[in-house]
Amino acid sequence: MRFAAMVRSLSGGTGTSFRAEGFPIRAKMLYTPPLMSVAHSKIAFPHRHLLGIEGLSRLDILALLDAAEEAVSLSRQVEKKRSVLRGRTQINLFFEASTRTQASFELAGKRLGADVMNMSVANSSVKKGETLIDTAATLNAMRPDIIIVRHHCSGAVELLSRKVDCSVVNAGDGAHEHPTQALLDALTIRRRKGRIEGLTVAICGDVAHSRVARSNMLLLSALGARVRVVAPSTLLPSGIERMGVEVFRDMKEGIKDADIVMMLRLQLERMSGAFVPSLREYAHFHGLTEEKLKYAKPDALVMHPGPINRGVEIESAVADGAQSLINEQVEMGVAVRMAVLEALSQHLPG
C-alpha cells in the first residue's frame, strides 16, 4: 500500500487541504524512480545523507515536506507505528547537549520501527580523547543504518559522513546548518499559511552564531520567501548582505509587515559585553514584545526553535500568545524527521 494511501485510510480523511489546492507542484509526480512499481511509494529524495539545506533542490525540499505532511497525520493517530525502518539501527550521536532535537529524532526513529540508540557523549570515549574519525570508525563497525549527529564544530558532520557506510543526518553542526529545523519550520509555515512563496520572513537575533538561521535562509529563499535578517551588527556575520537576504539592524523596521517573525535563541554567554552589552539592552532593542510585534502584519506568526529565554529574545506574552507557533514547531519536528529518516532509508542496502 502506498504510504499516502495508507495514511488516508487510517485517518479516514483525504490528506490536508493545501496539498490539493496550494501546491500545484508535487515532487512525487515529477520524480519517478524506475523501481516505483514495487509496494511502497518512494520519497523523491536522491541523497544518501542529509547534511544541510545547501545542495538540496527545491524539489528535494518539497518531497520531504510532502512526506512529512503525511507523517503529521500518522503521528496524530493512536497507532503511530510504521515498519519502514524495522530491523534498522539508528544511532543518535550528540556531541552537544540537546533535549528536543534528540528526543524528536528518537521518537521519529521509533515510530518508523527502528532500533534507536542514544550515544551520550558525556560518558563516551570522546571524553577520553578519542578523535571524531576514530569514533566514526568505531560506530561504523557496529553496522548502524543511520547516524544522527550533532557537533559543536561546523563541518564535523560532513567529515564524519565520509568515514561511515551508513546514512548520516546533520542534527546541527556548529554555526553551519541544522537542516531538519529549517524543514520543520517550513512545514509549520506552510501548514498555517498555505504557502511559503511570497511570504516575508524576518529572522531575528543571533544570526552570526546560528545554524538555524543559515539553514532557514537557504530553505526559505529556495521556496520563494523574502527573507530578512534582523540583528545588532555585532550578531550579523560579515558578508551577510551577499547571502540573499535583506539586512536590518532595527527591529521595528526589520519586522515591519512581516508574515513570519522567527526569533533565534540567544546564547547567554555572548550577552555580557562580548557581542551585546547586556541582556536588558538586548531585550530592550531586540527582544520581541507585543509592542514590537504590532509592526508585523496583523496575522503574523511567531516562531522560535527553542529553548526560549523568556524576557530576553521573546517576552512570555508573545511566546505564549495566539500568534505563537512554538509548540506546533515541536510537533512538526517529529514529522519532518520521520520523513527524513524514511527518505534516507530508501537508499540503504537491503
Contact status: 284 vs other proteins (CB under 8 A): yes
Which DSSP helix (H) or strand (E) runs through 326?
Answer: helix 326-345
Contact status: 234 vs other proteins (CB under 8 A): yes
- Give the dihedral of Cα atoms 301, 307, 313, 318; nearest 10 deg: 40
Shortest distance, CB of residue 275 to other proteins, whole angstroms?
Answer: 7
Cα(123)–Cα(105) distance, integer angstroms: 20
For other proteins, the closer of residues 64 and 264 by Cβ is 264
Shortest distance, CB of residue 281 to other proteins, whole angstroms?
Answer: 4
- Binds other proteins by CB under 8 A, chosen from 9, 120, 125, 233: 233
- Binds other proteins by CB under 8 A, chosen from 272, 290, 307, 320: 272
Contact status: 249 vs other proteins (CB under 8 A): yes
Query: What are the grid coordinates assigned to 86, written together?
Result: 524495522
- Binds other proteins by CB under 8 A, chosen from 241, 281, 290, 320: 281
- Binds other proteins by CB under 8 A, chosen from 17, 32, 267, 278: 278
Q: Residues 84, 211, 54, CA angle at the centre, nearest 5°?
A: 65
- CA-closest candidate to residue 199, choices 211, 212, 209, 186: 186
Strand pairing report for 146-151 and 167-173? parallel
Shortest distance, CB of residue 204 to other proteins, whole angstroms?
Answer: 14
- Binds other proteins by CB under 8 A, chosen from 129, 273, 298, 350: 273
Q: Residues 113, 116, 118, CA angle at the centre, nearest 5°?
A: 165
Check: CB of residue 66 under 8 Å from CB of residue 342.
Answer: no
Angle, helices 100-111 vs 326-345, to 10°: value is 50
Contact status: 327 vs other proteins (CB under 8 A): no
Query: What are the grid coordinates assigned to 323, written together?
Result: 500568534
Contact status: 295 vs other proteins (CB under 8 A): no
Contact status: 76 vs other proteins (CB under 8 A): no
For other proteins, the closer of residues 233 and 267 by Cβ is 233
CB-CB neighbours of 189 under 10 Å: 26
For other proteins, the closer of residues 273 and 298 by Cβ is 273
- Binds other proteins by CB under 8 A, chosen from 53, 276, 288, 303: 276
For other proteins, the closer of residues 205 and 232 by Cβ is 232
Contact status: 237 vs other proteins (CB under 8 A): no
Contact status: 48 vs other proteins (CB under 8 A): no
The DSSP string of 256-314 is: TT-SEEEE-PPPGGGTTTTSSS-HHHHHHHHSB-HHHHTTS-TT-EEE--S---BTTTB
Contact status: 277 vs other proteins (CB under 8 A): yes
Binding residues vs other proteins (CB under 8 A)? 232-234, 249-250, 272-278, 280-281, 284-285
